[in-house]
């Protein structure tokens, strides 16, 4: 097999940096990371736009964010739909549609949803930026995903490229 046709997979990369207990340092991508470790790493690298993120780091976060957001939206929708009470009132010959006010618990769920979105906005952007780096592309391309949602999926599916290591910023020892 020639070098140009040889397939490269991150797990087979011999030069992948590892730290204590075989765990890659924070600045390096972690290929094959588990779900709980990916979530912890997501928050540990809150606003880190340098370096790379593996597909598993990206997709585990995508799953976690979808679950939390979906749960909050579902809870809010159930609360609103089960407490929705509309009726028609005749007021001096004119019919009016009257809807009961939204219960306070709905607003609590809505605030939680907004807080979740705000708390995860910057780290989600940083993760996408690093994911694009892992495919050896400029992180600025991730901005496209803000306007064209399917672009984020495409970037998440791109294979890792060893030349993406040029975006790594190894931490220097002090």
- φ and ψ of 19, to 5 deg: -105, -145
Question: For each of the chain's 174 residues, which pLDDT tens digit applies?
Answer: 444 444 444 444 445 677 777 788 888 899 999 999 999 999 999 999 999 999 999 999 999 999 999 999 999 999 999 888 777 777 777 777 777 888 999 999 999 999 999 999 999 999 999 999 999 999 999 999 989 989 999 999 999 998 988 888 877 543
CA distance 157 to 154: 5
**Which residues 6+ apart lie within 8 Å of 120 measured at CB?**
65
Phi and psi at residue 157, in whole multiples of 5°?
-90, -15
Q: Give the pLDDT confidence score for residue 172 in this predicted structure.
A: 55
Task: Return the structure tokens found at 154.
Answer: 């495409």
> What pLDDT shows up at residue 109?
97
CB 24 within 8 A of CB 17: yes
What string of DSSP letters covers 53-113?
Answer: --HHHHHHHHHHHHHHHHHHHHHHHHHHHHH--EEEEEETTEEEEEEPPPPHHHHHHHHHH
Which pTM does this prediction carry? 0.80
Cα of 153 vs its chain's centroid, Å: 11
Residue spans per domain, the chain: 35-167
**pLDDT number for residue 7:** 44
pLDDT at 126: 96
The confidence score (pLDDT) of residue 38 equals 96
Predicted pLDDT of residue 27: 86
Q: What is the pLDDT of residue 55?
A: 94
Closest to 113 (Cα-Cα) out of 79, 72, 81, 70: 72
Side-chain-side CA neighbours of residue 99 (13 Å): 8
Written as six digits, the tokens of 55 are 């597909």
């Amino acid at each position: 097999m020639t070098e140009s046709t040889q397939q490269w997979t991150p797990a087979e990369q011999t030069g992948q940096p590892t730290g204590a207990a075989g765990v890659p340092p924070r600045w390096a991508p972690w290929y094959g990371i588990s779900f709980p470790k990916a979530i912890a790493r997501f928050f540990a690298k809150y606003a880190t736009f340098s370096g790379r993120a593996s597909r598993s780091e990206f997709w585990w976060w995508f799953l976690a964010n979808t679950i939390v957001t979906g749960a909050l939206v579902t809870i809010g929708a159930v609360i609103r739909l089960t407490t929705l009470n509309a009726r028609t009132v005749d007021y001096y010959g004119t019919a009016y549609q009257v809807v009961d006010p939204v219960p306070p618990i709905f607003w609590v769920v809505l605030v939680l949803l907004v807080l979740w979105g705000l708390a995860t906005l910057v780290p989600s952007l940083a993760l996408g930026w690093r994911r694009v780096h892992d495919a050896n592309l400029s992180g600025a391309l991730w901005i496209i995903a803000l306007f064209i949602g399917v672009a984020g999926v495409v970037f998440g599916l791109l294979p890792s490229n060893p030349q993406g290591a040029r975006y790594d910023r190894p931490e220097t020892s002090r």
